[in-house]
Amino acid sequence: MTTYKLTLRTLSPVHIGTGDEWRLGFDFILRTNKQNGKEIELTYIFDTDAVLEAKETQLRPDSRGHYPLPGSLLTEKDLQNPALFRYVLRGQPPSEKADARMKPFIKDPHDRPYIPGSSLKGAFRTALAWTGWQDVKFSRLEIRDFEYLDQRKNIWRSKKSPADKFERML
């Protein structure tokens, strides 16, 4: 099997989510720090287990039985402790809600974002199909090119259409 090494440069922002949702105070906190006289907005993504372990003595329910948010336990001194954070991002999410949320990007075990092979495969197939479609100059597919087979199962099957020829070429 031939192996190729590729360098990928995206032309637009890419976000491939994990399906999770991070919540302000539970998974991340927002701070504005001063560096060289400038205010810099930062988003601290914390290691929840490390924060809970470090702040174990402060984890006491209030009179209503509610525990404090992990982010509310952090002090300014804690922000200097890299062991409590997975990473720190420049900038902040645009939401001003008290319960702001972020959708994390898919990452490898070392917290480095990556684009999965299945997404690359889909991008390559789309590029090849688009190029092939333009080269063959197929006519536009119409509804009449398809025949409805089974109303109960809602299954569609292609008649002899330009797509059949194109599919054989791929």
Beta-strand runs (E) in 19-153: 22-23, 28-35, 38-46, 85-90, 101-102, 146-150
Per-residue pLDDT tens over the stretch 46-98: 898 999 999 999 989 999 999 998 999 999 899 999 999 998 988 888 877 77
Taken in order 28, 29, 30, 35, the sign of the CA dihedral is negative
Report residue 114: phi and psi, to 5°.
Answer: -150, 165
Per-residue pLDDT tens over the stretch 31-52: 988 888 889 999 999 898 999 9
